[in-house]
Amino acid sequence: EIVLTQSPGTLSLSPGERATLSCRASQSVSSRYLAWYQHKPGQAPRLLMFGVSSRATGIPDRFSGSGSGTDFTLTISKLEPEDFAVYYCQQYGTSPTWTFGQGTKVEIK
């Protein structure tokens, strides 16, 4: 079973700053099978990125994804107030299973 480890656990930043979130897999993950989600308290999680670097419908271009193999990154180029949330990476395994990282909280500094 592939384990996803996200870092840091919490990122304290100010609006306008750049956020870099890491997701490391315990084994190599196909790029097609890596996605990112945003989750705010009391709301439905929202798909941000799929296939590592493809933005979901309606996601602004300040969000970008990169990486391959075991190391993946979600970057928010300039944080807007609505971007403060918890972010999860997720990989698809062929059992099939869907595995999430433990999340990175992006909070206002």
Partner 1 sequence: QVQLVESGGGVVQPGGSLRLSCTASGFIFSDYCMHWVRQAPGKGLEWVALIWYDGTNKYYADSVKGRFTISRDNSKNTLFLQMNSLRAEDTAFYYCARTKAAALYYIDYWGQGSLLTVSS
Decide whether 77 or 99 has the Cβ nearer to partner 1. Answer: 99
CB of residue 46 vs partner 1: minimum separation in angstroms?
A: 7
| Binding footprint of partner 1, residue count (CB under 8 A) | 26
CB of residue 58 vs partner 1: minimum separation in angstroms?
A: 11
CA distance 95 to 17: 39
Residues 26-45 that bind partner 1 (CB under 8 A): 32-33, 35, 37, 39, 42-45
Give the contacts of 70 (CB within 8 A, at least 6 positions apart). 24, 25, 26, 27, 28, 29
CB of residue 97 vs partner 1: minimum separation in angstroms?
A: 7
Rule CB under 8 A: say whether 72 interacts with partner 1.
no
Q: Within 10 Å of residue 77's Cβ, how many Cβ atoms?
A: 14
User: Can you say whether residue 83 is alpha, beta or left, with left for phi > 0 and alpha for psi between -120 and 50 degrees?
Assistant: alpha
